């Protein structure tokens, strides 16, 4: 099976397995795991923050951030299609007692005008806006690499109103690679950022939440509250450290996405969104088939993609699928549906 459902499906390579096997470990709840400590230091450096915290998943990182930045009952502004709105089980309500103000934002980033319009000042009747949550790359909108200027404009609009800003940067390094800027330039205007080691970078487990010292100190307590305090976590942090070295290889995934998109655009009934990173969205309405049926036909030819909306499929290139693999996917799609 050529698996393009997600970049989370990659298996740890030999260097990661060796790193896990030989990792120096200690009890990380006591702060005594040298490998976790090294990962947190290196991760903070990579995104230009004072400190960082290793967390079991990106979802937990986002939830911790929401809880630490806000007070009960406050409102969070987020794009309608953001991961925290669509795919985290309403966690902002469950873990941080937040209400959502969803906006339909161009490129998934609320404009300063939208932020001004949705902002609520705290008074006797109104809970106040407690958080602006942004996303980069923007997954549901097609892996969009959001420009630092756009992030900065939104963050400035929030900060003018004393509203903190969290960036869901699950695929932050894909954005930095596509835009050819340091990740730290993208994160500079925000108060906290989460990125995943377990996606394009290839680690088996784990994400990082980063911010200033005071924020990370509170985040560490909240991680414990949510049951995310881990003991000899160096075993899983060691492949995470290795994963940080894979940033320079993300460009290959992007090249593969462009190759895939060009080829899929020739398939009968496929309407392909031009990729900016490693995600290719395809609207299959014109095939006259339901998405399930399209996926099934691909699966019969050993290709896996995922449903991503009523008429849309997502193909996500990743380090376990080579250029030959992408060409095999295009052959399979041609055999299944023909070319236009």
Ligand X SMILES: *Cc1c(COP(=O)(O)O)cnc(C)c1O
* Contact residues: ligand X, CB under 6 A: 57-59, 62, 83, 135, 139, 168, 170, 196, 198, 207
Please identify, using beta-carbon distances, which residue of 120 and 279 lies nearer to ligand X. Answer: 279
Please identify, using beta-carbon distances, which residue of 157 and 196 lies nearer to ligand X. Answer: 196
Residue with tokens 């088939």: 289
Minimum Å gap between C-beta 91 and ligand X is 10
Please identify, using beta-carbon distances, which residue of 139 and 277 lies nearer to ligand X. Answer: 139
Buried b (16+ CB within 10 A) or exposed e, 237-276: bbbbbbbbebbeebebbbebbbbbbebbbebebbbbbebb
Please identify, using beta-carbon distances, which residue of 62 and 287 lies nearer to ligand X. Answer: 62
Are 81 and 58 within 8 A, CB to CB? no
3-class DSSP assignment, residue 270: coil
Q: How far apart are CA 82 and CA 109, in angstroms?
A: 9
CB under 8 Å to 44, separation ≥6 — which residues? Answer: 50, 51, 52, 210
Minimum Å gap between C-beta 266 and ligand X is 28
Minimum Å gap between C-beta 214 and ligand X is 24
Please identify, using beta-carbon distances, which residue of 143 and 234 lies nearer to ligand X. Answer: 143
| Partners of residue 282 on adjacent β-strands | 272, 313
Minimum Å gap between C-beta 104 and ligand X is 17
CB under 8 Å to 62, separation ≥6 — which residues? Answer: 83, 84, 88, 91, 133, 166, 168, 194
| Partners of residue 210 on adjacent β-strands | 52, 193
To which H or E segment does residue 59 belong? helix 58-69
State the residue number with the nearest CB to ligand X. Answer: 58
Are 310 and 284 within 8 A, CB to CB? no
Minimum Å gap between C-beta 187 and ligand X is 15
Minimum Å gap between C-beta 137 and ligand X is 7
Residue with tokens 């459902």: 5
Please identify, using beta-carbon distances, which residue of 89 and 225 lies nearer to ligand X. Answer: 89
Please identify, using beta-carbon distances, which residue of 59 and 187 lies nearer to ligand X. Answer: 59
Minimum Å gap between C-beta 84 and ligand X is 7
Minimum Å gap between C-beta 288 and ligand X is 30
Please identify, using beta-carbon distances, which residue of 58 and 164 lies nearer to ligand X. Answer: 58
Q: Which two tokens stand for residue 321?
A: 């699928």
DSSP, res 73: T
């Amino acid at each position: 099976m050529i698996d393009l459902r997600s970049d989370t499906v990659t298996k740890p390579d030999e260097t990661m397995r060796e790193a896990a096997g030989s990792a120096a470990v200690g009890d990380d709840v006591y702060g005594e795991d040298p490998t976790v400590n090294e990962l947190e230091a290196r991760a903070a450096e990579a995104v230009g923050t004072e400190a960082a915290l290793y967390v079991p998943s990106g979802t937990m990182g986002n939830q911790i951030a929401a809880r630490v930045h806000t007070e009960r009952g406050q409102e969070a502004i987020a794009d309608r299609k953001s991961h925290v709105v669509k795919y985290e089980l309403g966690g902002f309500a469950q873990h941080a007692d937040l209400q959502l103000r969803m906006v339909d934002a161009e490129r998934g980033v609320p404009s300063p005008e939208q932020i001004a319009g949705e902002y609520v000042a705290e008074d006797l009747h109104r809970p106040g806006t407690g958080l602006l949550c942004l996303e980069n790359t923007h997954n549901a909108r097609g892996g969009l690499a959001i420009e630092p200027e756009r992030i900065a404009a939104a963050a400035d609009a929030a900060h003018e109103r004393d509203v903190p800003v969290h960036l869901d940067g699950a695929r932050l390094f894909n954005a930095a690679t596509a835009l050819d800027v340091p990740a730290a330039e993208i994160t500079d205007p925000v108060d906290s950022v989460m990125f995943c080691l377990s996606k394009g970078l290839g680690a088996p487990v784990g994400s990082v939440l980063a911010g200033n010292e005071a924020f990370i100190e509170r985040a560490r307590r909240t991680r414990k509250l949510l049951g995310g305090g881990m003991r000899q976590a160096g075993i899983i942090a060691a492949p995470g450290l290795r994963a940080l070295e894979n940033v320079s290889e993300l460009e290959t995934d992007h090249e593969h996405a462009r190759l895939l998109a060009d080829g899929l655009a020739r398939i009968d009934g496929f309407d392909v969104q031009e990729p900016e990173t490693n995600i290719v969205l395809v609207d299959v309405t014109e095939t006259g088939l339901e998405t399930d049926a399209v996926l099934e036909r691909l699966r019969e030819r050993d290709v896996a993609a995922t449903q991503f909306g009523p008429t849309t499929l997502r193909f996500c290139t990743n380090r376990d699928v080579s250029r030959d693999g992408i060409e095999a996917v295009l052959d399979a799609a041609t055999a299944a549906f023909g070319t236009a």
